[in-house]
């Protein structure tokens, strides 16, 4: 998985590319934890995400909690959106 991070003022955009699974979730988790405390909004661009496992879903939920709900997921492929729908997360998370 590749992660490109862009921070502007109080928002961070993480573009993730590849698979978000048991092996790569810690890498994304470390990137989120490393964000400056002044970042109050997190946007995760999933346009290049090919696969997400339950470990990836757990990480997204943890990020949502860390950001006090100020998390937006954008550009989900239909397959990735299906996973969020099946898990029931699409009703709880801000998905664009």
CATH fold, domain 2-95, is Transcription Regulator spoIIAA (3.30.750)
CB atoms within 10 A of CB 68: 9
Pairing of strands 71-74, 94-95: parallel
pLDDT > 90? residue 9:
no
Q: Report residue 48's pLDDT band, with 50, 70 and 90 as the boundaries.
A: very high
Average confidence (pLDDT) over 60-65: 96
Instruction: For the chain, give the mean pLDDT.
Output: 96
Average confidence (pLDDT) over 15-30: 97
Average confidence (pLDDT) over 5-31: 96
Helices (H), the chain: 25-33, 54-66, 78-87
Average confidence (pLDDT) over 51-56: 97
pTM of the model: 0.94
Collapse the DSSP code of 58 into the 3-class scheme (helix H, G, I; strand E, B; otherwise coil) and give the result: helix
């Amino acid at each position: 998985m590749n992660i490109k991070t862009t921070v502007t003022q109080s928002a961070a955009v993480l573009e993730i590319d590849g698979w978000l699974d048991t092996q790569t979730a810690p890498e994304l988790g470390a990137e989120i934890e490393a964000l400056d405390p002044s970042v109050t909004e997190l946007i995760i661009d999933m346009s290049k995400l090919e696969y997400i496992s339950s470990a990836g879903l757990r990480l997204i939920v943890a990020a949502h909690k860390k950001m006090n709900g100020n998390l937006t997921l954008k550009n989900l492929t239909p397959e990735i959106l299906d996973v969020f729908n099946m898990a029931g997360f699409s009703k709880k998370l801000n998905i664009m």
